[in-house]
């Protein structure tokens, strides 16, 4: 990787929701593979670098230990039922706050925003989450301006998205913001993202 490459880290944990993480991973991976001249790369990480098992059972071996990951430009925090334990874990919330202090852009997918809220990072800010957790998000911090109908909410250094598949849309938005609308359209074309839900 050339020096100066900007780093996107996707944090994984037991019972993360698979598409929450792999949707953005695909978008950022297709971007970095197709346009290395843009100077971005994506990798996965977990606490201790240990293997994690997703909410539906998928086993991923992360690239790195999240506690020794070095500089990140973007941290993606996916959702999944595993967030319930993490948002009650003080040490973990302390780590999330330490990432906030060093990472310019935090981006959550689905119920990942519950952990950001529990860490106190969404106070007084607009944010969203999976439709089934909107009330829970509001209960974690009543000062949050919960955007119930948003696909994603870009609040500058913090971007939150709605449930699961919304992470794909949020990631494309970030490619447009971090590179250009043209690059985002190119990535969209590469992953043939012309969705046509049959139901």
Q: Give the binding site for its own copies (CB under 8 A).
A: 17-19, 22-23, 25-26, 29-30, 32-33, 42-44, 51, 54-63, 110, 130-131, 151, 162-166, 168-169, 172-173, 175-176, 181, 184-185, 188-199
Is the dihedral angle over the CA atoms 173, 98, 125, 45 positive or is it negative? positive
- Nearest distance from residue 104's CB to its own copies, in Å? 20
- Of the listed 30, 69, 86, 110, which one is catalytic? 110
Least distance CB 89 / its own copies (angstroms):
24
Nearest to its own copies of 125, 173 (CB atom): 173
Closest Cα to residue 5, out of 51, 31, 42? 42
Nearer to its own copies, 111 or 158 (CB): 111
Residue 6 three-state SS: strand
Q: At its nearest, how many Å lie between its own copies and the CB of residue 90? A: 29
User: In the annotation, is 178 catalytic?
Assistant: no
Q: Which is nearer to its own copies, 92 or 151 (CB)?
A: 151
Q: Are 79 and 6 in contact (CB under 8 A)?
A: no
Q: State the Cα–Cα distance between residues 163 and 160, nearest whole angstrom.
A: 10
Backbone angles phi, psi at 143, to 5 degrees: -80, -10
Contact 72, 54 (CB under 8 A): no
Active site residues: 110
């Amino acid at each position: 990787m050339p020096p100066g490459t900007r780093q996107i880290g996707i944090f994984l944990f037991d019972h993360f929701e698979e598409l929450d993480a792999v949707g953005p991973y695909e978008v950022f991976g297709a971007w970095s593979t197709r346009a290395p001249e843009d100077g971005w790369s994506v990798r996965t990480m977990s606490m201790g670098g240990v293997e994690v098992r997703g909410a539906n059972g998928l086993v991923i071996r992360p690239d790195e230990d999240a506690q020794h990951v070095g500089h990140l430009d973007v941290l993606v925090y996916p959702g999944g039922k595993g967030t319930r334990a993490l948002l009650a874990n003080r040490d973990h919330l302390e780590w999330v706050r330490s990432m906030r202090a060093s990472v310019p852009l935090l981006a959550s997918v689905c119920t990942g925003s519950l952990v950001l809220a529990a860490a106190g990072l969404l106070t007084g800010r607009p944010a969203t989450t999976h439709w089934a957790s909107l009330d829970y998000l509001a209960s974690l911090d009543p000062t949050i301006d919960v955007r119930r109908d948003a696909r994603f909410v870009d609040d500058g250094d913090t971007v939150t998205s709605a449930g699961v598949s919304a992470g794909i849309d949020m990631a494309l938005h970030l490619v447009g913001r971090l590179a250009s609308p043209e690059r985002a359209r190119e990535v969209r074309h590469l992953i043939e993202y012309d969705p046509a839900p049959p139901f």
